[in-house]
Structure 1
Amino acid sequence: MTTDPEEKRRVDVAIVGGGACGLMTALRAAADPDLVIAVLEKSSREGCNAAISSGSLAAAGTRFQAAAGIVDSPQRHANDILAASGDEELRPVVEALCKVAPEFVEWIADTGYPIELGVDMPRAGMSVPRLHADTGRLCGARLVRHLRALLDRSPNAALVDEAKVVDLLVDNGSVVGVVVEQNGSRQEFLAAAVVLATDGFAADPTLRAEHLGDLGNPFYAGVATSTGDALRWTAPLGAQLRNMGAALRSGLVVIDHGTRVSPALQFNGAVLVNASGERFVDEESIGYSALAGILRRQPGERAAMVFDATAMAATRESEMMRDCLAAGAIRDLTTLAELADVMGTSENRASAAIAPRPGRRVLRPPYHLAWVTHGVLTTQGGLVVDAQGRVLDHAGAPIPGLYAGGGAACGLAGPHSDGYSSGSGLLSAFGMGWIVGNRLAKRAA
């Protein structure tokens, strides 16, 4: 690939992607005033997966947990993730991410972002409450805006918007920069280090068919920029890929609306009933990603999420539930007869279907109902990195000059989507950004 030789820029760090991983990498690397850092963002108008997420930060051993009297540790966190994923080969990376999680959560809070422990956010597989969220539950977009505002105030780092990276610059096996397409022309950014912090490949039909064909035809609830660019750029370098058949799925996507109900509903008594009027899962025992696969096997690939005023009160202030209410995605039903009619079954069968499991509470009228189906949010397969964020080749050796995190890197779900643990997406993105950014700053100091 050729570019105009006069159209070259030199930076110390070129970061591809201005989402969670890219922003954190830049902010940490910018602590070294001698570094010049460019964050090259394909399109902030299209958004990023961090911005459309709940913004929940999974971290163990934080001061917020201590204040709530919760005893936890990064090691316990890592063990919970690995128990779900079964991916012991990835333990060094998982442990490294869990180790820095309390550091970056407290750092974000100390920059003025309003964080609290989400004691109202229980999740399957999480042995103690460790999701941290913004007060007000205004989701990931609020956090992304906050971090971009911090970056704007950094004198040695800048986010360059509408700067589409189209290739890597390679010299004798080392990555030495990127090729950027902007305003109808191409230019080279030469860099001592390149960090791939792009989203995954869930928006690319060809890559989805190749790697995730067994998921059927799920609703896609991610961003349009998740086109797998990093996979194409690194293939000629012999970059190693892992767990390409795994995705972050959701079994809580509301049909005909595309919103999602809160994963905390089922911990507040909500039940799932399929189109045949049958209860088909222990709702508290399974995460929302694994639930997607179960829902796909139900009649019509859908189910009714049924809950009551108590469950609504416990969850309605989350961004997801506010979106559902604003979209008219939740039906209000005064009596059991109305509930049975909407479910297409008899009152007796409806009553049996919503009966509580042992030790759980009875749902009381009036009822609320949302028809949900399965969807895909992001992919979990990607580039293999070591605990320092360096991209590895097929021999397990680092590719010189190249780092990766966020959706470009292999996630923490293991080989199957069912292994995803809540909060692991932002843990992986922010955690690797923290690790790589700190490493780059120290190396150049």
Structure 2
Amino acid sequence: MSSLDTEPQRRTLDDASAEVVSADEVEFDVETDVLIAGAGGCGLTATLAACENEDLTVTLLEKSDEVGGNAALSTGMIPAAGTRFQREAGIEEEPADMARDILEKNGHEADAELVQHLCEHSVELVHWLVDDWDLSLHLVDDFKYPKHSEYRMHAPPGRNGEHLVAEMRDRIESRANAELLTNTPVTKLVAKDGAVEGVVAGSVREEAIRAGKVILATDGFAGNREMVRAYCEADIADALYYGSDGNTGDGIRWGAELGGALASMDAFQGHATVVSGTGALSTYAVVMNGGILVNADGERFGNESKGYSEFAVDVVRQPDGVAYEIFDERIFERLQGEFDDFDRAIELGSYTSADTVEALATELGCAPEATRDAVESYNAAVETEEPDEVGRTDGRNVLSPPFYGTEVTGSLFHTQGGLVVDEHARVLREDGSTVDNLYAGGGTATGISGHGADGYLSGNGLTTAMGFGRLAGLHAARSFGE
């Protein structure tokens, strides 16, 4: 997590500095078959997929000293529709149901064919991770994120992305034909006649690496304040940044310099409930189990169940950019021990409790009487099964003493726009042709969330990170030498 206030100015797409060099000007130091830039969810998945071809050498480079990127900061939940884990739980749904939810959430602004393709691939993705790579995933069937019509999240232990990332790293390090290097940033692409031939990488000493295929998995640009200001709405540009510091738009700029088309550059995922002070993430399961948010005046200011991404903007727009999350002991006890994020927030002393709403509000710093009235109005709507004052009908339960709460702020997690790719995650130019030997996934590629914050559906990030990652790795390995 970083506010980026002390970060140096980052490069933008308008920067004149070249980040692609000609192969004619480079003497390659080493070679590999498939090179992946970035060891987040996309890069790790792409590496697993590519190294299944034991005849190939696969190299994964990460600029930071730890792998995982935003995937490690997430819940690690992978949405998939039609898995055997759903069927075992008595859930019957198809990839088309997941695609419908995604497209309805983004107002059908995303590429429908690509959304359907990723949703169909999601079933193979989850089964492959569990069956072929022995990853620990289980179906989450005790709550639904906003606008999910069915239980379809497949989570690692603790519902924590760190566990998912650790297992993936372990599997990669066990492969003789896969190499993972940290603290080794890719700094430039090497190309000839528009086709990628390798990269330049290294921090202390740069090396030119020849590669048959290059997969860009450097995530988006949420860690680059200048690019965020250039493309995303002003209300989120100066919000707290809660993502990996390495997400500075590198891969997007490299691909664009080679003629790669860009789309949905204004799209991003925010989060509405990062705890002020401790910086812990108060999982949105608090809200979807019945919690509400009020501002300093004790007033609810929007429908919390519309989603944590767009609601983050609503929170940022409140006085001082903060809100107050109000819930009860039933929710507290239900979530404790289920989410590592929630347990960490508890350990950091993020939550206050009281026997009355007024006492809780006084402790938190929001208007006591107005907060009490907001809870009473909400409870009355729940009891009568009518929409409440903000129009909410989902994820509601009567709140009863003792009550719990915390001060939260809205934050920026990651961007959702980038390079346009095809069904194999190959980077495309405006005319529909491919940039030879170049792939992109995750935040480096155009996402499936449409525009702005409103189109983000929970899980969209890992759907494109791990979905495109596997598609890129499989195609790169299959087509190597072409």
Q: Please give the TM-score of this superposition, normalised by the length of structure 1.
A: 0.94
1:343 Cα offset (Å): 5.2
Residues 6, 230 of structure 1: alpha-carbon distance in 2 compared, 3 angstrom cutoff: closer
Q: CA 1:170/1:34 → structure 2, altered by over 3 Å: closer, same or farther?
A: same
**Is the partner of 1:354 in helix, strand or coil?**
helix
Amino acid in structure 1 at the alignment position of 2:46: T
Cα distance in 2 for partners of 1:228, 1:216 equals 15
Name the counterpart of 1:134.
156
Q: Give aligned pairs, total.
A: 442
Query: Who is 1:389 aligned against?
Result: 425
Deviation readout 1:366-418 (Å, 9 max, x if unpaired)? 11111111100111111111111011112222111110001211122111211
**Unaligned runs of at least 5 residues, structure 1:** none
Q: Distance in 1 between matches of 2:26 and 2:375?
A: 69
SS at match of 1:199: coil
Pairing 1:6-155 to 2, within 5 Å after superposition? 8-45=29-66, 47-110=68-131, 111-137=133-159, 139-155=160-176
Letter in 1 for 2:91: I
| Unmatched 5+ stretches in structure 2 | 1-20, 386-395
| Cα offset, 1:330, TM superposition | 1.0
Q: In the TM superposition, what whole-angstrom CA distance separates every residue of 1:267-302 from its partner, at most 9, and x where no partner exists?
A: 222111111111222333x11001112212322322
Give % identity.
37
Q: Which amino acid aligns with 2:324?
A: A
Is it true that 1:361 corresponds to 2:382 in the alignment? no
Distance 1:54 1:345 in 2: 30
Root-mean-square deviation over aligned CA pairs? 2.0
Matched, 1:304 2:324: yes
Letter in 2 for 1:406: G
**Deviation of residue 313 (structure 1)?**
1.6
Contact 1:391/1:398 (<8 A) preserved: yes
Deviation at 1:350, TM superposition (A): 2.8
Shift of 1:232: 2.3
User: Is contact 1:120-1:264 (8 Å) kept?
Assistant: no
Measured after TM superposition, the shift of residue 216 of structure 1 is: 4.3
**What does residue range 215-226 of structure 1 map to in structure 2 within 5 Å?**
215-226=236-247
CA distance in 1 between partners of 2:261 and 2:418 (Å)? 8
Q: What is the SS of the residue equivalent to 1:209?
A: helix
Give the letter aligned to residue 126 of structure 1: H
Provide runs of 4+ in structure 1 moved above 6 Å.
Answer: 2-6
Aligned AA (2:154)? H
Query: Cα–Cα, structure 1 residues 216 and 444, in superposed 2: closer, same or farther, change >3 Å?
Result: closer
1:179 match: 200
Q: Deviations over 1:111-146 (max 9, x none)?
A: 332221111231111000111112333x11111111
Q: Report if the CA contact (8 A) 1:121-1:131 is conserved.
A: no
Cα distance in 2 between the residues matched to 1:400 and 1:2 = 14
- Judging changes above 3 Å, is the alpha-carbon distance between structure 1 residues 29 and 74 closer, same or farther for their aligned structure 2 residues? same
2:54 counterpart SS class: coil
Aligned residue number for residue 389 of structure 2: none
2:454 to 418, 422, 427: 418
SS at match of 1:419: coil
| Displacement after TM superposition at 1:420 (Å) | 0.2
Q: Which residue of the partner structure matches residue 392 of structure 2?
A: none
- In the alignment, which residue of structure 1 is the partner of 2:211? 191
Q: CA–CA distance in 1 between the matches of 2:37 and 2:304?
A: 39
Amino acid at match of 2:229: A
Matched, 1:166 2:182: no
Farther off after superposition, 381-390 or 352-361: 352-361
Q: Deviations over 1:45-98 (max 9, x none)?
A: 375111111111111111111011111111111111011112455112211111
SS at match of 1:136: helix
Q: Retained in 1: the 8 A contact 2:110–2:448?
A: no
Give the TM-score taking structure 2 as reference length.
0.87
Q: What are the Cα deviations for residues 312-368 of structure 1, in whole angstroms up to 9, with x where unaligned?
A: 122222122112111111112232331242355665433221122333432111111
Contact residue 166 and residue 181 of structure 1 kept, 8 A: yes
